[in-house]
Amino acid sequence: MTDTDPRTEARDLLTSLGSTATSEWSAPGRVNLIGEHTDYNDGFVFPFATPHRTHVALATRDDGRLRVISTFAAVPVEVAIADLDALFPTVDGQHAVPEWSTYPLGVAWALIQAAGADPTTLTGADLAFASNVPVGAGLSSSAAIEGATASALNELWNLGLDRVALAQVGRRAENEAVGAPTGIMDQMASMLGEPDAATFLDCRSLETDEVELGFAAAGLSLLVMDTNVKHAHSTGGYGERRASCEEGARVMGVPMLRDLSVGDLDRAAELLDDVTFRRVRHIVTENQRVLDTVRTLRDEGPRAIGSLLDASHASMRDDFEISVPELDLAADTAVAAGAIGARMTGGGFGGAAIALVETDAVEAVTRAVEQAFADAGFTAPTIFPVTPSAGARRDG
């Protein structure tokens, strides 16, 4: 994260290109309270938008071209809008432009596809990005850049797409332009977030319900414990887990794992090999935990959800096998230091864990986790509280 104002950084970066902003937009990262890897199985998730945001400053141009630049990559990337179809979708993981630029340029391509627009008629633009969403922490810096880009270009091009459609555009960009086989949870949370609420999302119907969390009123804070172990969804085990889920659904004779219940697990144990069964068991039980968390929040309040957070982490550690020692240590130490519950959040293989703690115990839990990492010889974690915040918006 940067200590400077990313909105100012984006505007200044645009100025360095010789352009002046005509509009400014931002979109947040997200924390998933519970419901991991259930989204691409048509299941249930429960994320909220964070205060950390990616900002984009936009200036129009009259030559039908897009130029994008970021504080993370000082060299601008420029393409003709009419040439986006030649760049995407990405084939065999080979990007025709620098990988970071596949996020905003992929969104532009997916927007045009979704709206059925004629690219030769669209206004060109310079877009400059700056962000304070931690990259690689499992807080969806990618959805933040997608949401900011989609919101800005949707207005510039008068496409009239609603927030759900823009979330779908972001997912298509991530899947087909970036090449990361993710679901739609991150984009929906970034587009739809509301203060002091989480988005209960049915990933099959895309129906949503904003559920009040009430952390502050209950004297609670949610800590993000970034292990500083970086991950990348477009490589590694994420795709393998998705393939296992698809194989489990095929053997079980259902369209998606969403269609199985806890009562189906005995039969699954008989039909599936051990690894595939454990992958399936995580998804099935995690879907149930999301439903139980929403119900418990409404009936009993946030202090009653700790055991569900703990059970989710155990399932990701043992059944889905996406945790790492740093994540386990963060979650276990936080609970031992008094947290109500803790779990890793995000796609796994690194990133962050979260802990629900008494607000007056934030300092003690933070110190305990930092000391545990030091004792283990791990890189120091970055620990900070987050509050549920607003989704994508125009800032100027």
Rounded distance, CA 60 to CA 308, Å?
48
Q: Distances from the Cα of 254 to the Cαs of 183, 220, 259, 291, in angstroms? A: 19, 40, 6, 20
Rounded distance, CA 225 to CA 367, Å?
11
SS3 222: strand
226 is catalytic: no
- Residue from 126, 186, 319, 332 carrying the catalytic annotation: 186
β-strands 65-70, 197-202 pairing: unpaired
What residue has token string 């189906």?
264
How many other C-beta atoms lie within 10 A of the C-beta of residue 376? 12
Residues in the chain, how many? 396
Q: What is the full DSSP assignment across 12-26? A: HHHHHTT---SEEEE
Buried b (16+ CB within 10 A) or exposed e, 191-205: bbbbeebbbbbebee
Handedness of CA 163, 165, 170, 174 (dihedral sign): positive
Which residues are part of the catalytic machinery? 186
